[in-house]
Amino acid sequence: MLNCLFDLKFSDNISKKRIEKAYKTLGINVVKRMLGFTLFILGAKRNDVAQHLNIPLGTFFSFLTRIDQYGLFAFEDMRKVPSLHVKKIEGPLEISLGMDDQNVSIQLGRENRFLSIPRNNHLQCKVVLLTFLNSGLLSAKDIAQTLRLSERHIRELSAKMHDQDAYALIDKRKGQLIDYRFTPEIKAELIQQFVAHAITDKPTSSHVISEHLSRRCNLNLPDRSIRLHVKKLGLSEIKKSLPEIVQTLKKNFSSCS
In the structure, what pLDDT confidence band is assigned to residue 89 with cuts at 50, 70 and 90?
Answer: very low
Contact 168, 161 (CB under 8 A): yes
The answer to whether position 81 is within a domain reads no
Last residue of a domain, one of 138, 171, 204: 171
Q: Examine the domain organization and report whether 211 and 158 are in the same domain.
A: no
The answer to whether position 194 is within a domain reads yes
- What pLDDT sits at residue 257? 58
Q: Examine the domain organization and report whether 145 and 191 are in the same domain.
A: no
Q: Examine the domain organization and report whether 99 and 167 are in the same domain.
A: yes
Instruction: Read off the pLDDT of residues 189-224 as tens digits, 9 standing for 90 and up.
Output: 999 999 999 888 899 999 999 999 888 888 888 888
Looking at the structure of the chain, the number of domains it has is 3
Q: Examine the domain organization and report whether 65 and 107 are in the same domain.
A: no
Domain containing 18: what range?
13-75
The answer to whether position 237 is within a domain reads yes
- What pLDDT sits at residue 194? 93
The answer to whether position 44 is within a domain reads yes
Q: Examine the domain organization and report whether 210 and 146 are in the same domain.
A: no
Last residue of a domain, one of 171, 206, 233: 171
In the structure, what pLDDT confidence band is assigned to residue 56 with cuts at 50, 70 and 90?
Answer: confident
The answer to whether position 121 is within a domain reads yes
The answer to whether position 84 is within a domain reads no
Q: Examine the domain organization and report whether 167 and 194 are in the same domain.
A: no
The answer to whether position 26 is within a domain reads yes
Which stretches within the chain are classed as H helix? 12-26, 28-41, 46-52, 57-70, 122-134, 140-147, 151-164, 184-199, 206-217, 223-233, 241-256
The answer to whether position 141 is within a domain reads yes
CB atoms within 10 A of CB 95: 16
Mean pLDDT of 61-75: 79
Beta bridge partners of 115: 106
Q: Examine the domain organization and report whether 147 and 191 are in the same domain.
A: no
Q: Examine the domain organization and report whether 167 and 192 are in the same domain.
A: no
Instruction: Read off the pLDDT of residues 92-121 as tens digits, 9 standing for 90 and up.
Output: 667 888 887 788 888 877 666 778 888 888
Q: Examine the domain organization and report whether 113 and 146 are in the same domain.
A: yes
- The model carries a pTM of 0.36
Last residue of a domain, one of 171, 194, 228: 171
